[in-house]
């Protein structure tokens, strides 16, 4: 990543299974790539539900190529091959 762009980006690790997320949202984007495939469907739904409160309206969720969330959380709309947008409502 170029430094001029990196100056506008905050990176933070997150334990997806933690009882509480301690990151200070809301964010424009969340990158969660190639991780969700290791969780069962119920856990995936819970993580996605929690992402809703961390994203700004129209915020983007970037997933891996083998991950599909359209059927798990209706508030995320597929916008590209691996990009989902959070609906405004």
Is the pLDDT at 30 greater than 90? The verdict is: yes
Query: Which residue is listed with tokens 């059927």?
Result: 71
pLDDT at 85 over 90: yes
Asked whether the predicted pLDDT for residue 29 surpasses 70, the reply is yes
The residue extents of the domains of the chain are: 24-86
- The span from the CA of 58 to the CA of 55, in Å, is 8
Is the pLDDT confidence value at 89 over 70? no
* CATH 2.40.50.140, domain 24-86, yes or no: no
Encode pLDDT of 34-51 as tens digits: 999 999 999 999 999 999
Mean pLDDT of the chain: 89
């Amino acid at each position: 990543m170029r430094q001029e762009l990196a100056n506008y980006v905050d990176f933070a690790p997150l334990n997806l299974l933690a009882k509480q997320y301690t990151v200070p949202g809301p964010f424009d984007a969340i990158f969660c790539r190639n991780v969700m495939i290791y969780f069962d469907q119920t856990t995936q739904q819970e993580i996605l539900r929690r992402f809703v409160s961390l994203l700004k309206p129209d915020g983007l969720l970037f997933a891996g190529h083998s991950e599909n969330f359209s059927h798990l959380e209706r508030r995320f709309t597929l916008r590209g091959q691996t990009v989902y947008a959070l609906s405004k409502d």
